[in-house]
Amino acid sequence: MKLYCLSGHPTLPCNVLKFKSTTIMLDCGLDTTAVLHFLPLPLVHSPRLSKLPGWVSKDGTISLEKELKECAGRVFVDSLPEFCPPERELVDLSTIDVILISNYHCMMALPYITEHTGFTGTVYATEPTLQIGRLLMEELVAFMERVPKAQSATCWKNKEIQRLLPGPLKEAVEVWTWRRCYSMQEVNSALSKVQLVGYSQKVELFGAVQVTPLSSGYALGSSNWIIQSHYEKVSYVSGSSLLTTHPQPMDQSSLKNSDVLILTGLTQIPTANPDGMLGEFCSNLAMTIRAGGNVLVPCYSSGVIYDLLECLYQFIDSANLASTPLYFISPVANSSLEFSQIFAEWLCQNKQSKVYLPEPPFPHAELIQTNKLKHYPGIYGDFSNEFRQPCVVFTGHPSLRFGDVVHFMELWGKSSLNTVIFTEPDFSYLDALAPYQPLAMKCVYCPIDTRLNFHQVAKLLKEVQPLHVVCPEQYTQPPPTQSHRSDLMLELQPPPMPYRRCSVLGLPFRRRYERIQLLPELAKSLVPAEIKPGISVATVSAVLQTKDNKHVLQPPPKPAPAPPSKKRKRVIEEPPELMSPKPLLSGALPLEPFLSLLHKHGIMEVKVEDTPDGHILHLQAEDTLIQLEEDSTHIVCDNNEALRATLRDLVLRFLQKL
């Protein structure tokens, strides 16, 4: 059993597991942090960005003024942003049988995997994962396609040039593998390969293994996966949460008795408490609005935004902010808000029960009815007519490199009354803000990440007790910025097996058993013999048939009757004659009773010699040796077949025949 690691990002994993002749891809996360090296894509012409100076090396030998621009001491690529897809050279991706998706954030690289690699397998995901994943992909494509860029920057990727660039561009890895965004046609083609599954539904793969999704408690439809055969069990835990939020709670008990547990997608902010961050979010928002400023919240169109809106629903009345408009701007804003209300069976019990009242499970439905929350596909059209300030705007993309958020950063960045509040933990807020410097607006970092922290993981692993744990190497050492914090890492016995991008791990357990089915007519012919109290054994002669990884023992074929005609035109190959098998012997040969039996049969002179494996009996008068060992008996007797047969029969009296 081998694990191939195709992604270096611990919360956007992509691994391939080879298990019992099946090749299973676990998630296909897209590392979007590469976009931080690019200039933002403004929706309207930005004089500030267009006037940025091009980059020239200090000695003047390298000039990439058309590709690289300098801003506030940093260098950015002036091109359409690119992403770092999973590694493609480590495994032949056309051999992948299935892809298991754990949540909608971990499927964003799907079109890169399914559309250009010869992939012919099936993708398994829950319905909310598919539908919300589709929305996030549609949004990404829309953000890119509405601001096309003619030029494509590639010269800076030359290794000789890249090492001369200033950081952090100099440290960027795998730059030649970075790819532009896929098209909507590729998204539709990739998602047509998805087969929907429900929690605890068992899916059989080629008769070899069974895969089962379990609720992971992190997002709508998010799953952990069990991959098991009859005698081996692998658990894949990715993006899980034990906090009480809107999704169904995490199913922990089904993870017990795992041979290997692959652990990924822990919180990216282990020191931040999500409840404390929500409180900080609300208080900073209220302070800004009261001072007459606007609040910008860069966010994804699904996920934490539901919790933020629920929090604001309870907060705005008590804070006297009921008249402040909330705007949600995204090409998929309407679909996202509607989907969250219709996936009732995927919600926690509290929200499920509201559906039967009937009430909408999320309070943002009431915010929309009372006109406190308005949603728009973009900043043009209705929004520009109805827009009033001060207000709160939720929009994407959290990287601040594309989407409507770029427009608001340019619009509001010059005033210290306004505030940008970062709630998504995927991007460094300082790197996200770098191309907008110098910036007058206030910046608040309130990352809300409900995924498991190290304390919760330690408790979970203590309960489910897997034999081996596999995890990204980042989890086996403290964060680089807090090297003294040994509590921010996994400390387990035995130590977890770490992996990094492009590593191949041999998982530490061997398959030892296989299940075989006996046909009823063969079972009827067995004659069990008791060898120990409660333990019976029977010999079987059969033909083993293997098909679709299922093994069946069938009765041996009977020889075909001879053809009636005497003259044979050609020689027919005779089936092999089935010999009746020799009986199997079991039991032990006790020394003293055997010696007394020899005496009874007239063999008196017996010299006994002890050996490491048993005894050697030397019958001196007969010039014969009997070697008694734990699992065998040898009679060495020259030219006296009658004596050898007699001694053999005496030995057999103490043994059981099967």
Distance of alpha carbon 18 from alpha carbon 1, whole angstroms? 6
- 235, 224 contact by CB (below 8 A): yes
| Residue 568 tokens, joined | 């044979």
At residue 182, the pLDDT reads: 95
* Residues linked to residue 329 through DSSP beta bridges, in sequence order: 376, 395
- Pick 84 or 159 by higher pLDDT: 84
Q: Is the peptide bond before 435 cis (omega within 30 degrees of 0)?
A: no
Task: List, as own/partner pairs, every contact residues 583-588 make where C-beta atoms lie below 8 angstroms and the sequence separation is at least 24, other chains included.
Answer: 583/539, 583/657, 583/658, 584/539, 584/657, 584/658, 585/652, 585/655, 585/656, 585/657, 585/658, 586/531, 586/537, 586/655, 586/656, 586/658, 587/531, 587/654, 587/655, 587/656, 588/630, 588/654
More confident call, 40 vs 339? 40
The SS3 assignment for 11 reads: coil
DSSP, collapsed to helix, strand or coil, labels residue 503 as: coil
State pTM to two decimals: 0.85
CA atoms of 237 and 260, how far apart (whole Å): 11
For the residues 335-343, what does the mean pLDDT come to? 87
Q: Which of 87-91, 236-240, 414-418, 530-534 has the lowest mean pLDDT?
A: 530-534
Q: What is the pLDDT of residue 600?
A: 85
So what's the pLDDT on residue 537? 84
Give the model's pLDDT for residue 555.
86
Residue 435 has pLDDT above 90, yes or no: yes
- Checking phi first, is residue 552 left (phi over 0); if not, alpha (psi -120 to 50) or beta? beta
Q: How many CB atoms lie within 10 A of CB 555?
A: 15
Bridging pattern class, strands 2-5 and 15-19: antiparallel
Beta carbons of 328 and 451 less than 8 angstroms apart: no
Q: What is the mean pLDDT of residues 180-197?
A: 96
Look at residue 225 in the predicted model and tell me its pLDDT. 97
Average pLDDT on 533-545 reads: 86
CB atoms near residue 369 (< 10 Å): 10
pLDDT digits (tens, 9 = 90+) for 344-353: 888 888 888 8
- Indicate the SS3 state at residue 636: strand
Is there a cis peptide before residue 168, judged by omega within 30 degrees of 0?
yes
pLDDT for position 214: 97
More reliable by pLDDT, 187 or 622 = 187
Output the pLDDT for position 72.
86
Asked whether residue 580 carries a pLDDT value surpassing 70, the answer given is no
Checking if the pLDDT of 575 tops 60, the result is no
Is the predicted pLDDT of residue 504 greater than 90, yes or no?
yes
Q: What is the pLDDT of residues 279-294, one digit of tens each?
A: 999 999 999 999 999 9
State the Cα–Cα distance between residues 651 and 631, nearest whole angstrom: 13
Tokens 């935004």, residue? 305
Q: How far apart are the first and last CA of the chain?
A: 37
Could you tell me what percent of the chain has a pLDDT over 70? Answer: 96
Torsions phi, psi for 107 (to 5 deg): -125, 10
**pLDDT value at 243 more than 70:** yes
Omega before residue 9 within 30° of 0, cis: no
> In degrees rounded to 5, what are phi and psi of residue 408?
-70, -30
Contact (Cβ atoms closer than 8 angstroms) between residue 512 and residue 504: no
- Please, what is the Cα angle at 385 between 379 and 391, to 5 degrees? 70
Name the band, by pLDDT with cuts 50, 70 and 90, for residue 610. confident
Separation CA 108–CA 134 (nearest Å): 9
Mean pLDDT score of the chain, rounded to an integer? 89
DSSP structure class, residue 1: -
pLDDT range class, residue 141, cuts 50, 70, 90: very high
Q: Average of pLDDT values for 181-202?
A: 96
Q: What is the pLDDT of residues 509-525, one digit of tens each?
A: 777 788 889 888 888 88
Axis crossing angle, helix 127-145 with helix 333-342, rounded to the nearest 10:
180
d(CA 520, CA 157): 67
The more confidently predicted of residues 656 and 514 is 514
Judged against a pLDDT cut of 80, whether residue 178 lies above it is answered with yes
Torsion angles phi and psi, residue 335, rounded to 5: -60, -40
| Model pLDDT, residue 324 | 92
Q: Is the Cβ–Cβ distance between 633 and 589 less than 8 Å? A: yes
Q: Which of 132, 134, 264 is nearest to 189 (CA)?
A: 134
State yes or no: pLDDT of 488 exceeds 90.
no
Query: Which of the given ranges, 135-139, 483-487, 584-588, has the highest pLDDT on average?
Result: 135-139
Contact call for residues 436 and 412 (beta carbons, < 8 A) = no
Q: What is the pLDDT of residue 63?
A: 79
